[in-house]
């Protein structure tokens, strides 16, 4: 008998379950990803200051950049941003939702300088302390269209091979289904919500989907997701200047990311059956990394920079919960309806190692008239790995190394006024065959994911200095494209056979983010 309310024993048993799995490589990518960030000056030239230095943002890119300082500085930056995300395909080309405008503290730093009054050798030693918001996850998108396939097909294929008795809530009096570490919670929730059932006259471990017995055809699909959160970096940096020829630096950095995603997937079938699957997932991640950098000044007009970032070691804690509201006709034609939840706020934890990063930079100083900067950054994203080896095993052939190119120019028509332009381009980390993997005992029932494509940004800004004080403004226009999947188009079944959904096409996702950054700085 299928029930609508989980027994208390199931909740308690599942909450203390330490062996079931929750994380995927997509969570590792969330925790380790970042975007163009820093002071308004740095952002308005596209972040291309790795060889030029003289800006507190370089603490997080090439720490040798603060070795350029010959006086101390305090700087603070505020950010206002708004974004529009569009989900579209052939059946609906214009489903979109604009997020609310939000403001926050973008960057704050202090650089202290100790001058040794020498002509050669160590001319000055600098100390930097900084906070930086490297990424914001504020985004909302929705889609309403028609597709010739259903989530219920995928979950039925995933459930094949599991004895039907293992999926019912009264698996045994002392071991309800959600405490069974050998089956995924998505299969339990789908079976108890009549989204799947065993085929008549066949074995009790072969399942049919609601899509199949409701008449197949076109499914009316409504999707909505909302992302929230941020990634913050805290840094301590040491740097120095040798004879105005070689500038060196090192940064000790702690990263903290907080992320949540709330998703709703509603499907309506040919016979009028409908359900809504509502999922909430949240993670907190903390990581540590070390960065070293060097800038060489062979001539007065040329600077060459390089930096290396060690792979960040992260610890992730996450929480997930799921709910299914259904009103469907079961396999026997009887109307069934209800509202079922999985055990609430079940926690998981893992560790993983992010990518190492290497940066090469060129800077061309145009005398008192400004500069031109070019940066290239390499990230070996394909080496991301989890402490259990599963991320490496499942995704090493599908993750790509990421390449980032940044370029910018600053022109000073008069000594106190600066005009700036910049641009950046980032390649995708998602290989052609990258898809989300699911564990045999996965506690999460959210199935959506997106594979980001190449992204780019265009920046502009202006700065004005009055004595020891400076005000800088920047505008950043950034575009991120991705393929959005409400669920995977295929699944490898228990017997090794491959299940593929016919006529499956991902939903196109495009996010345009606008930012305005204002920075105040004072040198002393």
CA 378, CA 404: separation in Å to the nearest integer? 7
- pLDDT for 9 equals 30
**Mean pLDDT score of the chain:** 87
pTM: 0.87
The answer, yes or no, to whether residue 269 has pLDDT greater than 90, is yes
CA 100, CA 80: separation in Å to the nearest integer? 11
- pLDDT for 95 equals 67
- Answer whether residue 1 is part of any domain: no
User: Which CATH number goes with the domain that contains 260?
Assistant: 2.40.160.60
pLDDT digits (tens, 9 = 90+) for 123-147: 999 999 999 999 888 889 889 999 9
Q: Which residue range is the domain that position 61 belongs to? A: 8-523
- pLDDT for 94 equals 67
Beta bridge partners of 375: 361, 406
Structure tokens at 346: 């079940």
- Answer whether residue 469 is part of any domain: yes
Which residue matches tokens 């925790």?
A: 31
From its phi and psi, is residue 490 left (phi > 0), alpha (psi between -120 and 50) or beta? beta
- pLDDT for 14 equals 37
C-alpha angle 49/52/58, rounded to 5°? 50
Structure tokens at 54: 């003289």
The answer, yes or no, to whether residue 369 has pLDDT greater than 80, is yes
- Answer whether residue 3 is part of any domain: no
Beta bridge partners of 97: 85
- Answer whether residue 462 is part of any domain: yes
pLDDT band at 8 (very low <50, low <70, confident <90, very high): very low
Q: Which letter does DSSP use for residue 311 in this model? A: P
CA 465, CA 472: separation in Å to the nearest integer? 9
Stronger pLDDT, 302 or 27, i.e. the higher one = 302
- Answer whether residue 370 is part of any domain: yes
Output b/e per residue, 344-370; b: 16+ Cβ within 10 A.
eebebebebbbbbbebbbbbebeeeeb
Structure tokens at 440: 């045999």
- Residue 11 phi, psi dihedral angles, 5° rounding: -65, -50
pLDDT digits (tens, 9 = 90+) for 509-518: 999 999 999 9
CA 271, CA 222: separation in Å to the nearest integer? 17
- Answer whether residue 504 is part of any domain: yes
Highest mean pLDDT among 16-20, 212-216, 495-499, 514-518: 514-518
CA 143, CA 87: separation in Å to the nearest integer? 6
The answer, yes or no, to whether residue 19 has pLDDT greater than 70, is no
The answer, yes or no, to whether residue 6 has pLDDT greater than 50, is no
User: For the CA atoms of 494, 496, 497, 501, what is the dihedral angle to 10 degrees?
Assistant: 60
pLDDT digits (tens, 9 = 90+) for 193-231: 999 998 765 567 888 999 999 988 999 999 999 999 999
75 with 521: CB under 8 angstroms?
yes
- pLDDT for 23 equals 66
- Residue 359 exposure: Cα atoms within 13 Å on the Cβ side: 32
Stronger pLDDT, 67 or 204, i.e. the higher one = 67
From the number of C-beta atoms within 10 Å of its C-beta (0-12, 13-18, 19+), residue 8 rates as: exposed
CA 205, CA 439: separation in Å to the nearest integer? 18
- What average pLDDT does this structure show over 447-452? 91
- What average pLDDT does this structure show over 80-87? 91
Q: Domains in the chain: how many in total? A: 1
- What average pLDDT does this structure show over 243-258? 95
pLDDT band at 478 (very low <50, low <70, confident <90, very high): very high
pLDDT digits (tens, 9 = 90+) for 285-324: 999 999 999 999 999 999 999 999 999 988 888 888 899 9
- pLDDT for 43 equals 97
- pLDDT for 17 equals 41
Highest mean pLDDT among 37-41, 438-442, 497-501: 37-41
pLDDT digits (tens, 9 = 90+) for 319-364: 888 999 999 999 888 999 999 888 866 677 778 888 999 999 999 9
Beta bridge partners of 16: none
């Amino acid at each position: 008998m299928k029930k609508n309310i989980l027994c208390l024993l199931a909740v308690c048993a599942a909450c203390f379950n330490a062996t079931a799995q929750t994380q995927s490589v997509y969570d590792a990518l969330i925790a380790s990803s970042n975007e163009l960030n820093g002071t308004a000056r740095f952002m308005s030239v596209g972040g291309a200051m790795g060889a030029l230095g003289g800006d507190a943002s370089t603490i997080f890119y090439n720490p040798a950049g603060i070795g350029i300082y010959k006086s101390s500085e305090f700087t603070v930056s505020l950010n206002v941003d708004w974004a529009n995300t569009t989900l579209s395909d052939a059946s609906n080309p214009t489903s979109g939702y604009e997020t609310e405008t939000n403001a926050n503290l973008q960057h704050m730093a202090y650089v202290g300088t100790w001058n040794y009054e020498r002509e050669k050798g160590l001319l000055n030693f600098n100390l930097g302390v900084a906070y930086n918001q490297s990424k914001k996850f504020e985004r909302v998108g929705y889609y309403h269209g028609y597709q010739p396939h259903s989530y219920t097909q995928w979950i039925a294929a995933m459930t094949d091979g599991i004895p039907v008795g293992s999926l019912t809530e009264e698996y045994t009096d002392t071991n309800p289904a959600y405490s069974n570490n050998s089956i995924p919670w998505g299969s339990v929730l789908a079976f108890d919500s009549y989204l799947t059932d065993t085929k008549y006259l066949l074995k009790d471990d072969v399942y049919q989907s609601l899509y199949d017995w409701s008449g197949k055809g076109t499914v009316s699909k409504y999707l909505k997701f909302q992302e929230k959160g941020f990634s913050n970096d805290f840094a301590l940096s040491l740097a120095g200047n040798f004879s105005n020829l070689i500038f060196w630096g090192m940064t000790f950095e702690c990263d903290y990311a907080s992320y949540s995603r709330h998703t709703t997937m509603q499907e309506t079938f040919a016979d009028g059956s409908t359900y809504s699957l509502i999922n909430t997932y949240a993670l907190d991640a903390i990581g540590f990394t070390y960065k070293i950098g060097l800038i060489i000044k062979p001539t007065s007009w040329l600077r060459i920079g390089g930096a290396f970032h060690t792979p960040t070691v992260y610890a992730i804690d996450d929480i997930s919960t799921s709910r299914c509201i259904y009103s469907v006709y079961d396999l026997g034609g009887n109307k069934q309806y209800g509202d079922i939840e999985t055990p609430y706020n079940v926690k998981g934890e893992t560790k993983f190692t992010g990518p190492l990063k290497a940066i090469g930079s060129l800077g061309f100083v145009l005398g008192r008239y400004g500069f031109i900067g070019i940066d290239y950054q390499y990230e070996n994203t394909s080496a991301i790995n989890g402490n259990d080896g599963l991320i490496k095993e499942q995704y090493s052939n599908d993750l790509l190394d990421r390449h980032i190119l940044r370029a910018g120019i600053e022109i000073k028509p008069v000594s106190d006024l600066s005009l700036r332009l910049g641009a950046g381009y980032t390649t995708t980390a998602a290989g052609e065959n990258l898809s989300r993997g699911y564990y045999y005992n996965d506690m999460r029932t959210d199935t959506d994911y997106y594979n980001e494509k190449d992204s780019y940004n265009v920046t502009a800004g202006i700065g004005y200095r009055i004595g020891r004080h400076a005000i800088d403004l920047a505008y950043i226009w950034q575009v991120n494209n991705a393929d959005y999947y409400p669920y995977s188009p295929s699944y490898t079944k228990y017997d090794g056979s491959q299940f593929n959904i016919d006529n499956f096409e991902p939903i196109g996702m495009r996010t345009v983010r606008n930012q305005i950054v204002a920075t105040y700085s004072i040198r002393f």
